[in-house]
Amino acid sequence: MPFPPLFLQRMAAWLGPEFPAFLEALQAPHLPGLRVNSLKISPADFQARSPLPLQPVPWCPEGFVVPEPTARPGIHPYHEAGLYYLQDPAAMLAAPLLSPQPGEWVLDLCAAPGGKTTHLAARMQNLGVLVANEIHPRRVRALAENLDRCGVTHAMVLNETPERLAARWEGLFDRVLVDAPCSGEGMFGKEEAAARDWSEKAVQGCARRQSAILEAASRLVRPGGHLLYATCTFAPEENEGVLGPFLRTHPDFELLDVRASIGPMGDTGHPEWIGEADTRLKRALRLWPHRGPGRGHFYALLRRAGDERPHRPRPRTRLPGRARTLYNEFVRQTLQDPPPDEGLLVLGHHLYRAVLPPEMWEGLRVFRPGWLLGQVEETAFVPSRALAMGIRPEAAQQAYRLELTDPALSAFLRGETIPGPDLSGWVLVTLEEFPLGWARATRRGLRR
C-alpha cells in the first residue's frame, strides 16, 4: 500500500536514523492484539485455556499479541462470550494511564467502537458510573453491542456533542478520556482509506476539531480529576500542537510525566517538531510501531488543580405497576440472584437499570441510560442478551452448559434451536462457565 510522499518526507525528517525501522514496522503484516476481559476471566486463567498463541503486551497485564497474522480470533466462540476484546496493543495503554478506580465517575467522550471503554469498565469492576459518548449515530449501536458482549453493567451510552455535555455536566467526572478523532497515521498499514485521505490540510482540520473537543472535555473534569488526551496519529500538529495552546490558556491543568510507565519503548513529546517552545510537552508519551507492539499512539495525561467532589445523586426506581409485576414474575421464576433494583426505569417497552437520575440527562440524546435488562411485553417480560452477559451462571435458576467441542454450540450461535434437557421457561446458555445468552425451553429444545 503506497503511503503519501509528503507523509514519508515529514517522518524521515523527524525520525532520522530510526525512519527505516519505522517504515518497515508500519508496512509489516498486522498482528492481532487481544485484551482479556477481566470482568469475565483473569489473564492467567485465559492463558491456561487459550486456543491461540499469546505474547504479553509489556504495559498492559491483560494485553497480548497474537503472533500469527493469519489467526482469526474474532470468530472464536470465546470472543462471542466476551472473554476478550480485539484491540491494538498501543491502545491498551489508555486505561492503565487514566487508571479509573471502582466507584468513580468516568467519561469516555469519543467512545466507539468501545475498545478503550470496555477496558475502563473492567478496571472499574463494574462499580461507579461510566458514560460512553459517541457523536456519530451509526457507530453508537456497535458501541452498545460491545459493552453488552463484555458484560458491562454500569454504563450509559449517549450520542451527543462534547459541547452539549460540557454545558450540562460541567465538573462532574473524576476521569475523562478523549480518544480524539484524528488523521490515523498509525493505521496507514492497516486501513487503505486512512492513507488515501491523508493531507496536510486534513491534519490541520483534525487539529482544529481536536482543540474544540479538548476544550469541552476540560470543562467536564472535576477539580482534582484527570483528563487523558490520546490519538493514533504521529502528526505533531494533532498532538503537541493541540496541547501547547491548551496549557497556555488553562493554567489549572498540569501535564503529568508518564514516560517512565513503559521505559525505553516509549518516546517523549516533541514540541520542537512544530516550533513549540514549551518544554512541558516533553512529558507526553509516544508509542512507535518500531519500538514495541502496536501501530503507535500519543498520550498526554493532565490533572486539574484542586480537590472538589460534586454532588452526585443516585437514580431511583420508577416502574409502572404492570412492568413491575411482569419483571418481578420473571425474577421469581428465572433468577436466583437478581440485579439490584436501584434505578429501574422503563423507556418505551425497554427496562433499564439507569446509572444516572433521568433529570440529569433529560433533553440529551441518550441511546441507553444504563444496563438493558429486557423488554416489557403485553403479558411477559423478555430478558435481553445484555442481562445474560452481565450475570454469572449461578445467578440463573436454570443454566445449560455447552463445551467448545459440542456441535450444538455453533448451532446456538447461529440462532438455531438446540437439543436440551427437559426444562421450562428461560434458560441461561453458557460456553463452559461463561454466559452466551438466553434460550426459551420448548418441546423441541432450547430456542434462542
The β-bridge relationship of strands 129-133 and 60-65 is unpaired
Residue 310 neighbours by CB distance under 10 Å: 14
Instruction: Provide the whole-model pTM.
Output: 0.97
Which pLDDT score, from 0 to 100, does residue 55 have?
A: 97
pLDDT mean for each 10 residues of the chain (448 residues): 91 97 92 96 97 95 93 95 97 98 98 98 98 96 98 98 98 98 91 90 97 98 98 98 98 94 89 94 96 96 95 92 95 94 94 97 97 96 98 96 96 94 93 97 91
Angle, helix 240-249 to helix 200-220, in steps of 10 degrees = 40
CA 350 – CA 370 distance, rounded (Å): 11
- Are the C-beta atoms of residues 167 and 99 closer than 8 Å to each other? no
Q: What is the pLDDT of residue 261?
A: 78
pLDDT at 433: 97
Residue 1 has a pLDDT of 65
Q: Angle CA(310)–CA(312)–CA(318) in degrees, nearest 5?
A: 165
- CA of 260: how far to CAs of 176, 282, 288, 372, 435, in Å? 22, 12, 15, 40, 39
- Written as one string, the DSSP assignment of 302-357 is EEESS------PPPPPB--HHHHHHHHHHHHHHBSSPPP-TTEEEETTEEEEESS-
Alpha helices in 221-281 (DSSP H): 240-249
Residue 394 CB coordination number (10 Å): 11
β-pairing, 285-287 with 297-304?
antiparallel
pLDDT of the residue at 70: 84
* φ, ψ (nearest 5 deg) of residue 109: -80, -25
Q: What are the percentages of helix, strand and coil residues in the chain, rounded to 5?
A: 35, 25, 40
Which amino acid would we find at residue 162? P
Alpha-carbon span 385 to 439, nearest angstrom: 10
What 8-state DSSP symbol labels residue 170? T
Which pLDDT score is estimated for 177? 98
Query: Which residues belong to the active site?
Result: 232
